[in-house]
Amino acid sequence: MATSLVAGPQTGVWKELASHAARLQGVPTREIVAADAKRFERFSAEGAGLLLDYTRQRVDERVMEQLSALADAVALKDRIAAMWRGDAINSTEGRAVLHVALRQPRGAAVGGADIEKVVLEERARMLSFAEGVRNGTIKGSSGKAFTLVVNIGIGGSDLGPAMAVEALQEFTAGGPACAFISNVDGCRLADVLAAADPHTTLFIVASKTFTTLETLTNARTARAWLAGKLGEQAVRDHFAAVSVNHQAMNAFGVHPDYRFQMWDWVGGRYSMWSSIGVSLAIAIGRENFEAFLRGGHEMDEHFRSTPWRQNLPALMGLLGVWNINFLKLPTLAILPYDDRMRRFPAYLQQLEMESNGKSVMANGAPALSETAAVIWGEPGNNAQHSFFQLLHQGTPRAALDFLLPARSSCRNQAQHDLAIANCLAQAEAFMAGNPPEAVREELGKQKLSPERLELLVPHKVHQGDRPATLVVFRELDPVTLGRLVALYEHKVFVQSVVWGINAFDQWGVELGKKLAEQLAPAVRDPSGAQVGSAGVMRLLKKIDEWRRSP
């Protein structure tokens, strides 16, 4: 980002928004909502098959006008064009950011004709491999079809496909089972291997860099297991890989036909559309994977061409800015009312927090405002029975995203209708609350003494004013999941533009990685080792004592 670009806090609109936040302070959301009979018509938008209902946000028409003005003031349109042109908007790494090129159809030339060509070629290779694994024409070393695909990766090389395979379980019939291994402790891998048949297991090592400690450690363990069971020569038939690092894939012994390409212009957390999604493609098949890409592309076109007040990613991003910077809500809870979306909050944690968890702007100057919210969440009804108490009545307050399909993901509409009722009820309750007068009226119907009644009132009051957006869609199918993922990707980009930060690097993850590398030998053998602080050495000694104790 060039230094001449303006960040939101440097604009006059920012001050206007602050004055609107002050104006609305103390006005209950239920009053803002009640004052506008046409609120749903004006505070909802539909695009690319998704409905965004932001009627329960703490905004009125004047705030929305200013949020659109903010998008203009930071030249959001130009920044979108710069991304699509392939400008090096990831300035600290000098890279273009072209995940939008990964989901383009033939002839779209996103990123230019050369990029379109390599993307489509690699997509075709990957999909034909995926189909071969799926239909059993690509087999293991003993001539048997694969029944289990084990993706070994972490972060962006795990979360997207893992989330999507679970979300799209209804579309996986006929394919092998998929397992996802990420953590370095090796326990999940051990569990998966314990139940796996080596003859019918395919491993996919997904790592853009092919240097990631967790992934390589798990991959080596898996390789040793396979070679131990079937012999070294079987490795070539049982390992595929996705990376930019061909040298490392050579060293690992990945067969050239089983290698898939990544590019520097795709960030890990934006990569599930590429061959990093091969496990997903195997799970759901070519047509469904293509539908997923189509959904992403539909959202891209919507984002590029729609005025801000109907533009779903822009609305989401701007409302997030309003909540974080003006209403001072530092967290966003992601609440899917569909159990199959249970990994969606985890997926968004990396997408949003690794992208926008920054405190300097792209030009190196300190950020002028708070940046990314803390993202967390859990499928709806589970959340209701665990942390909703705090959300309704606790002192920390959060903004909320509800995700709601109209149709059941497992053909049990009767039960899903209960999920719908719960979702809508909770969104209303968070918005309107339950004021003291209403609580008194309810309690008045019980035969309570006046003292008892007054004692209970404060405990039963819900303040409301917890702002929520509902993202509603027909059903959780591949095209819709593509739209949803792209919606959040662009939302993150919108916010990065407003805050003037680079959403596409992640230097913050390096320090801990480096320290862990230095510490690893001392952990193995703390006797005489002198790395880390005195406190760390004391801990290591204690850990070692417990490790050795019978």
155 binds ligand F6P (CB under 6 A): yes
CA 145, 149, 151 angle in degrees (round to 5)? 155
Per CB under 6 A, the segment of 22-30, 148-156, 161-169, 474-482 that binds ligand F6P is: 148-156
Residue 229 appears among annotated catalytic residues: no
217 binds ligand F6P (CB under 6 A): no
Select 213 or 520, whichever has its Cβ closest to ligand F6P.
213
Residue 20 appears among annotated catalytic residues: no
Q: How far is the CB of 156 from ligand F6P (least distance, A)?
A: 3
In whole angstroms, what is the distance from residue 509 CA to residue 158 CA?
Answer: 16
Select 207 or 371, whichever has its Cβ closest to ligand F6P.
207
358 binds ligand F6P (CB under 6 A): no
Q: Choose which of 79, 103, 208, 223 interacts with ligand F6P (CB under 6 A).
A: 208
Counting Cα atoms < 13 Å in the Cβ hemisphere of 116 gives 12
Select 277 or 526, whichever has its Cβ closest to ligand F6P.
277
Q: Choose which of 22, 118, 509, 543 interacts with ligand F6P (CB under 6 A).
A: 509
Select 200 or 217, whichever has its Cβ closest to ligand F6P.
217
Q: Which residues contact 297 (CB under 8 A, 6 or more apart)?
A: 100, 103, 104, 105, 108, 482, 486
Which parts of 248-307 interact with ligand F6P (CB under 6 A)? 268-269
| Token output for 287 | 């047509």
In angstroms, how far is the first alpha carbon of the chain from the final one? 58
* Cβ atoms 423, 406 nearer than 8 A: no
161 binds ligand F6P (CB under 6 A): no
160 binds ligand F6P (CB under 6 A): no
In whole angstroms, what is the distance from residue 293 CA to residue 100 CA?
Answer: 10
Tell me, residue by residue from 452 to 491, as one string, x for binding to ligand F6P by CB under 6 A and - for no binding: ----------------------------------------
157 binds ligand F6P (CB under 6 A): yes
Residue 541 appears among annotated catalytic residues: no
Per CB under 6 A, the segment of 75-83, 153-161, 413-421, 426-434 that binds ligand F6P is: 153-161
156 binds ligand F6P (CB under 6 A): yes
212 binds ligand F6P (CB under 6 A): yes
Q: Is 141 exposed, middle or buried (0-12, 13-18, 19+ CB in 10 A)?
A: middle
Q: Which residues contact 19 (CB under 8 A, 6 or more apart)?
A: none
* Cβ atoms 501, 362 nearer than 8 A: yes
| Token output for 298 | 């539909």
Which of 354, 378, 490, 491 is catalytic? The answer is 354
Q: Choose which of 182, 207, 288, 355 interacts with ligand F6P (CB under 6 A).
A: 207
Which of 15, 117, 144, 385 is catalytic? The answer is 385
Considering only CA atoms, give the Rg of the chain: 25
95 binds ligand F6P (CB under 6 A): no
Q: Which residues contact 331 (CB under 8 A, 6 or more apart)?
A: 373, 374, 375, 376, 396, 398, 399
The sheet carrying 148-152 orders its strands as 177-181, 148-152, 201-206, 239-243, 259-261
Select 200 or 209, whichever has its Cβ closest to ligand F6P.
209
Contact set with ligand F6P (CB under 6 A) = 154-157, 207-209, 212, 215, 268-269, 354, 506, 509
Which residues are catalytic, by number? 354, 385, 513
